[in-house]
Structure 1
Amino acid sequence: MALTLAGCGSSGGSGAATTDTSPPTAAVQQTTGAGAADASGLTQQEKSAITSAYETFFSGKSDAQTKLGVIEDPDRFAKTINAQSSSGLAESTSVTVSEMSLVSPGRASVVYTILMDDKPVLPDQTGYAVKVDGKWKVSASSFCGLLTLENGGTPPAECAAQGGAPAATSAPAAPTS
């Protein structure tokens, strides 16, 4: 797991409450036309934005500043992300997003798999994306969940200080070839 997080630079999952800055009308979805939400409650544009945030955040090709631009509460995680981005393992990390659905206005659940050298190392993780200032970002809680997993189940300081333990994250499975 340490290798995975060192490679991805960060992820989140703190069970801490997230402040939703989007107006209540943002939850109203169109039912027809190009901007229509599907059964997930998200439009294709929102799905693309969420997928892009996750792919950017977990890409070994993204530098620390780029990762900080797609995570909620970047100041809270700057030290960790900067430290992890200098890992040589970072270059081989990527992510695939398999599912997502709107759970509340400005908050979507996301099922994703972290890959190293295109092999799954943390399959079917559940995280969240949050809308901050009109942009979808990887939630702080999702990153805290992965940091806590890496830390043997103990939330690191940047997560523990924000309201306790992260949301449950499944244990890593053995990589498949």
Structure 2
Amino acid sequence: MVSQMVLVRRGGRPRLAALAAAAVLVLAPALAACSDDGDDAGGTTTSTTAPPGTTAPPPGAAPDDPVAAKAEVTRNWTAFFDPKTPTAEKVRLLENGEQMQPVLAAFAGNENAAMTAAKVTGVEFTSATDANVTYDLLVGGSPALPGAQGTSILQDGTWKVSMKSLCGLVELSGVTVPGC
């Protein structure tokens, strides 16, 4: 899947532009209210792509019940990106969700975010507490970011959307958000 991202960057500039435009359309209005105009002294760069060379996890690197874990990852990602899911529930489904609550609250009242959903198409465990997630970000039911890559993390007994994944989407919008 990493090679797919490389092809998009090298030979598919129109597609990359369309994806970036879709991400800006979906995310920028919701995040503008949360942007930080101050210095970013501790800024980090995140990505929604799988690390290079990612292969099948070594034996014993999956959760005790991978079928149940995969179902929970899928269910939680779908709920997190469902505009009908209350913000309080989204906070519970996001890694360190409390610190990202202002961003999630901004999404709650945004009409573009109300048309956005995610469809999980694959889950690959890289350890007993981490998984790579392949998903389509849908806007109005149509794929805006097909085959997107994110991660899920087991935190406090719940499989959650990682902050890295959310921040990677925010990064595509070109908006700076505290916590990302």
CA distance in 2, matches of 1:131, 1:157: 23
* 2:111 equivalent to 1:88: yes
Counterpart in the other structure of 1:5: 27
**Which residues in structure 2 correspond to 1:11-160 (within 5 Å)?**
14=46, 27=61, 35=65, 43-151=66-174, 156-159=177-180
Cα displacement (A) at 1:105:
2.6
Task: State the TM-score, normalized to the length of structure 2.
Answer: 0.66
CA distance in 1, matches of 2:29, 2:86: 11
CA distance in 2, matches of 1:114, 1:6: 15
Alpha-carbon displacement from aligned partner over 1:43-90 (angstroms, at most 9, x marks no partner)? 211111000111011111112112111000112211111012110223
Structure 1 stretches lacking a partner, 5+ long: 16-25, 36-42, 160-177
Counterpart in the other structure of 2:4: none
| Structure 1 segments (4+ residues) deviating >2 Å | 2-9, 26-30
CA distance in 2, matches of 1:46, 1:8: 31
Alpha-carbon displacement from aligned partner over 1:109-135 (angstroms, at most 9, x marks no partner)? 001111011100011111000001111
Aligned-residue RMSD, C-alpha? 2.5
Cα displacement (A) at 1:8:
9.0
CA distance in 1, matches of 2:24, 2:122: 25
CA distance in 1, matches of 2:62, 2:135: 26
Cα displacement (A) at 1:2:
2.8
8 Å Cα contact 2:62/2:126 also seen in 1: no
Cα displacement (A) at 1:7:
9.1
Counterpart in the other structure of 1:20: none
Equivalent pairs, count: 133
SS of 1:88 mapped into structure 2: coil
Task: State the TM-score, normalized to the length of structure 1.
Answer: 0.67
SS of 1:87 mapped into structure 2: coil
CA distance in 2, matches of 1:157, 1:29: 32
In structure 2, do the counterparts of structure 1 residues 101 and 72 end up closer, same or farther at CA, with 3 Å as the change threshold?
same
